[in-house]
Amino acid sequence: RSFASQTDGESRLARVLREKFPRASAIKVVDISGGCGAMYEIHIKSEEFREKRTVQQHQMVNQALSEEIKHMHGLRIFTSAPE
C-alpha cells in the first residue's frame, strides 16, 4: 500500500487519539500487521504526558483505546512530551 494512505484502522485509532489527547503535537498510527489490523504501533507527543512516568503515559493511551484494544493482537506504544 502507498505510504501516504492510511488504513481504516489507522484512521480510526488516530481519530480516537486526537479526541482523547487534544493537546498532542504529533500522533502517528501504523498498522504493523501488514494491513490486517491485528497489531499497531502508536507514537504520540503530547503536553498531557509532561511530568508523568512512561508507564503512566502508556496507561493513558491504553485507557483511551480500551474499546479498540479488545480487537487487537498487540500494540506498541511510544509516548513523549514536547521538548
Give percent of the chain with pLDDT exceeding 70: 95
pLDDT (0 to 100) of residue 76:
97
- Ordered by start, the domain boundaries in the chain are 8-80
* 26-42 pLDDT, tens digit each: 999 999 998 888 999 99
pLDDT (0 to 100) of residue 4:
56
Main-chain phi, psi angles of 15, to 5 degrees = -65, -45
Looking at residue 35, the DSSP 8-state letter turns out to be T
* 46-57 pLDDT, tens digit each: 999 999 999 999
Model pTM above 0.85: yes
What is the CATH code for 8-80? 3.30.300.90
Give percent of the chain with pLDDT exceeding 90: 83
User: For residue 79, what are the contacts with CB-CB under 8 A and spacing of at least 6?
Assistant: 43, 44, 45, 46, 49, 54, 57, 58, 60, 61
What is the rounded distance in angstroms from the CA atom of residue 56 to the CA atom of residue 32?
24
- pLDDT at residue 9 above 50? yes
pLDDT (0 to 100) of residue 5:
73
